[in-house]
Structure 1
Amino acid sequence: MSETPWLTIVGVGEDGPDGLPPASRRALEAAEIVMGPARHLALLPDLAAERIEWPVPFAAGLPVLQGLRGRRVVVLASGDPFWFGAGSVIARHFAPGDWHALPGPSVFSLAAARLGWRLETTRCAGLHAAPFARLRPDLAPGGRAIVTLKDGAAVAEFAAFLTGAGFGDSRLHVLEALGGPRERIRETTARDMDLEGIAHPVAVALELAGEGPAIPAASGWPDAFFDNDGQITKRPMRALTLSALAPLPGEHLWDIGGGSGSISIEWLARHPRMQATAIEADPERARRIAANAAALGVERLRIVTGRAPEALDGLAAPDAVFVGGGLSQELLQTLWDRLAPGTRIVANAVTLESESLLALWHAAHGGELLRIELAEARPLGRKRGWRAAYPVVQWTARR
């Protein structure tokens, strides 16, 4: 990194420069140009620097900033620019030697300090530009979270989301303009949220309570979480399949024959860096997969409407592949020919024809071949008996 980067990213709070450390104040005094949101620019004292308001949408400001290269520029960002802030977006567009950052306290740190919460055990999420459902996997009684929201009106919308999910008893701490003279903290519950005049910037700290269904931390979520037309890998088989797929943080899954999307959705829920592409031939099922993913907090799932193997063209290479539908000799051969060495393949078969195909591939390429038979207790007259599901043959191999 060069000794004198031309761009400095300064984290500023609601009290403006008065609360900045000496290094950040010196950067402002030496700047030729200060660029930032209108509310941050309004906090500045008289400076010799030219002021440029960052445009909306945010991406529109990046070319403007590029055009200032070579001049001494300070960009103002809220709190810690690299904690759900603009810092990482700016850094992606410039060389390491172009910039350096002087962060301030984040809104999450300020909220935890006001409430006395342990930040390392509190879920923190930036929902100012993301769907509320991204928090859905974290909704469980006894949990705590701190979220940023886009404006005061979003607080009522967020409370309605929590109530609709069955967590209306959750206590909300509405945190306005933390760290500045306009700071205010008020409490309510999600169900009773009727606060008015909520000022921007706003965050909400919540103590979760309610009778809503919580998503398990283990694989094999209840089938009821997934809207489906019967084309779904059922809960026990899904848990076994995800175990065979063995997801690792940051890996990419191809879910071929997505059905309801249950496999790829649970794969994504394992870690925020997971990636997945669901390939589904039926357009209605593809739409259902998208709706399920959005409702369960993993809207980043990519969905390709088409039939494999043709629909696989142009997709980013996977680390693991699940074949839940459309199993054929052509598909397996295409996968074997094009996948990188080390890619994991898991295929489930129910029909005799597909079982025979997996047996042949197991004989030729090794791996594990399992026959899984499950039965569920059901009423049988006045007593109970076992109702067996179709046995499933599962082949797991590494390319």
Structure 2
Amino acid sequence: MIFHVIGIGNRKPDLAEDVLTLIQHHTVFSGGNRHHELVRHFLPEGYQWLPVQSPMELLFESYRHANQPVVVFASGDPLFYGIANTLRTKYPQAEIQTYPYFSSIQLLLHRANLNSNLLQTVSVHGRSWAALDEALIQQNPLIGVLTDPEKSPSAIAGRLLAYGYSNYSIWIGEDLEGEQERIRHLHLEEATQGTFHTLNCMILQKESHRNISFGVSDSFFEGLEGRPNMITKMPVRLCSLHALDLGSRAVLWDIGFCTGSMSIEAKLHFPHLEIHAFEKRAECLQIIQNNQHKCGTPGIIAWIGDVFEFDLKQISRPQAVFIGGHGGRLTALLQILDQYLPAGAVVVINAVQEDSVKNFISFSGLLNWKLEEPLRLKADTHNEITILKAIKGC
């Protein structure tokens, strides 16, 4: 299969001679309705148009039955969250030639006169918040965002404010190159109240750096009422994160999160992580959410209830597990985890009771997990903590 993918803007395109020649030598074309209106006067007589619309499987079937090269018109840069990437995924053996135009984010950069060398771009268009959350926690200087009707500029500005990222301002480009083009540079509070053209994109510009400590002070976290010591202490937290070795892992389970301090610290240092935090105390849901907002860590997924009663098969498999609590059922928990952990996954526990240390060591051996040397820590006047680590074998 052969595809020629031509990027165009939001107005009648001024196509290069080689592209015009290409068009005249083909008969099967594809694109959205808007693209058709913009290019139809370039198309040869007797052309066939395959509209890009849902359901996409019907479109892919049309491509397969075309039996000749297809010229596809796309918005902006077809390789920038565009159909050229979709075609490469769908037809990995296809020959794909692209003729790009400026992406919407590039156009907005030009209008705002911003340094594109500093830009990281994410998309929340039909996607989760995960990529934007990661870029925010990293505090990138310029973050380009492709929006959608639900994750609109006002919703995005509200999310930044909710998690304390008021150190950003927002550039919004509406109907770029269209009759209603408008460029605005707004404070986040202004953006939360604004209404915007349905065709929009945005750039978040960092105005100052938000200082977040390497090792969040224990006193910064909201805790359980009347139980101030129910938190993994900061030195223990950092040593446990070292043991979890999260840099190359994608999914972390935090079992018995209580205040959420471990999940939050992990998200701050490894913002790419998908984190699932489990806790049986219902009141801890509000606590972890409050602490997430204070520490600027959106995206942690909290599960309230007994971890033994969840259908864990419906949750992303972890490459790392931290056990902060087990309700006296440590060996049963390890046995369950053994069913879900892939080879090479790491399990770390902070044990206070000597029974927990012995049970973890003995049962890990039965499961054929590789144990590392325990680390014992004592923070101030608190109980001594033993940090235990095991790696699941093949």
Question: Shorter-chain TM-score: which interval?
Answer: 0.7 to 0.9
Does structure 1 conserve the Cα–Cα contact (< 8 Å) formed by 2:133 and 2:271?
Answer: no
* Structure 2: gaps spanning 5 or more residues: none
Partner in structure 2 of residue 351 of structure 1: 353
Does structure 2 conserve the Cα–Cα contact (< 8 Å) formed by 1:269 and 1:298?
Answer: no
- Determine the C-alpha separation between the residues in 2 that align with 1:80 and 1:339: 40
Does structure 1 conserve the Cα–Cα contact (< 8 Å) formed by 2:133 and 2:298?
Answer: yes
Partner in structure 2 of residue 12 of structure 1: 8
Partner in structure 1 of residue 200 of structure 2: 202
| TM-score after normalising by structure 1 | 0.72
**Structure 2 residue 320 is matched with structure 1 residue 320:** yes
**Structure 2 residue 192 is matched with structure 1 residue 188:** no
**1:113 paired residue among 110, 115, 120:** 110
User: Which stretches of structure 1, 4 residues or longer, exceed 6 Å deviation after superposition?
Assistant: 139-142, 194-197, 225-231, 286-295, 361-364
Mapping of residues 1-399 of structure 1, within 5 Å: 5-18=1-14, 22-23=18-19, 26=22, 30-36=26-32, 38-46=33-41, 47=43, 48=45, 49-55=47-53, 60-68=54-62, 69-71=64-66, 72-92=69-89, 94-98=90-94, 100-102=96-98, 103-130=100-127, 135-136=132-133, 138=136, 143-150=141-148, 154-166=152-164, 170-178=168-176, 183-193=181-191, 198-209=196-207, 214=210, 216=212, 218=214, 220=216, 233-259=232-258, 262-264=261-263, 267=266, 274-280=273-279, 296-298=297-299, 301=301, 306-308=306-308, 312=312, 318-326=318-326, 328-332=330-334, 335=337, 339-358=341-360, 360=362, 366-375=371-380, 388-399=381-392
- Determine the C-alpha separation between the residues in 2 that align with 1:87 and 1:7: 9
Instruction: Say if 1:157 and 1:43 are closer, same or farther in 2 by CA, change over 3 A.
Output: same
Superposed CA offset, 1:198-242 (max 9, x none): 44422222333479xx47384658775788787654444322211
- Determine the C-alpha separation between the residues in 2 that align with 1:308 and 1:195: 44
Instruction: Say if 1:374 and 1:342 are closer, same or farther in 2 by CA, change over 3 A.
Output: same
Does structure 2 conserve the Cα–Cα contact (< 8 Å) formed by 1:132 and 1:158?
Answer: no
- Determine the C-alpha separation between the residues in 2 that align with 1:253 and 1:360: 24
Does structure 2 conserve the Cα–Cα contact (< 8 Å) formed by 1:252 and 1:274?
Answer: yes
- 1:135 Cα offset (Å): 3.7
- Determine the C-alpha separation between the residues in 2 that align with 1:234 and 1:22: 65
The 3-state SS of whatever aligns with 1:17 is coil
- Determine the C-alpha separation between the residues in 2 that align with 1:269 and 1:169: 17
- Determine the C-alpha separation between the residues in 1 that align with 2:151 and 2:347: 47
Whichever residue aligns with residue 240 of structure 2, its letter is T
* Structure 1: gaps spanning 5 or more residues: 376-387
Instruction: Say if 1:393 and 1:99 are closer, same or farther in 2 by CA, change over 3 A.
Output: same
Does structure 2 conserve the Cα–Cα contact (< 8 Å) formed by 1:350 and 1:391?
Answer: yes
Instruction: Say if 1:186 and 1:172 are closer, same or farther in 2 by CA, change over 3 A.
Output: same
- 1:76 Cα offset (Å): 3.5
Instruction: Say if 1:148 and 1:368 are closer, same or farther in 2 by CA, change over 3 A.
Output: same
Superposed CA offset, 1:306-334 (max 9, x none): 53498555766543332222152343356
- 1:367 Cα offset (Å): 0.9
- Determine the C-alpha separation between the residues in 2 that align with 1:302 and 1:139: 19
- 1:161 Cα offset (Å): 4.0
Instruction: Say if 1:148 and 1:293 are closer, same or farther in 2 by CA, change over 3 A.
Output: same
The 3-state SS of whatever aligns with 1:390 is coil
Does structure 1 conserve the Cα–Cα contact (< 8 Å) formed by 2:322 and 2:348?
Answer: yes
- Determine the C-alpha separation between the residues in 2 that align with 1:179 and 1:374: 60
Whichever residue aligns with residue 32 of structure 1, its letter is V
- 1:344 Cα offset (Å): 2.2
Does structure 2 conserve the Cα–Cα contact (< 8 Å) formed by 1:163 and 1:190?
Answer: yes
Does structure 1 conserve the Cα–Cα contact (< 8 Å) formed by 2:76 and 2:101?
Answer: yes
Amino-acid identity (%)? 23
Does structure 1 conserve the Cα–Cα contact (< 8 Å) formed by 2:124 and 2:151?
Answer: no
Say how many residue pairs are matched: 374
Does structure 2 conserve the Cα–Cα contact (< 8 Å) formed by 1:254 and 1:318?
Answer: yes
- Determine the C-alpha separation between the residues in 2 that align with 1:240 and 1:305: 27
- Determine the C-alpha separation between the residues in 1 that align with 2:259 and 2:85: 34
Instruction: Say if 1:314 and 1:116 are closer, same or farther in 2 by CA, change over 3 A.
Output: closer
Compare 112-121 and 195-204 and name the one that shifted more. 195-204
Superposed CA offset, 1:374-399 (max 9, x none): 12xxxxxxxxxxxx233321112333
| TM-score after normalising by structure 2 | 0.72
Superposed CA offset, 1:34-68 (max 9, x none): 132x333332232353445444xxxx332121220
Does structure 2 conserve the Cα–Cα contact (< 8 Å) formed by 1:152 and 1:202?
Answer: no
The 3-state SS of whatever aligns with 2:40 is coil
Does structure 2 conserve the Cα–Cα contact (< 8 Å) formed by 1:162 and 1:168?
Answer: yes
The 3-state SS of whatever aligns with 2:65 is coil
Whichever residue aligns with residue 239 of structure 2, its letter is L
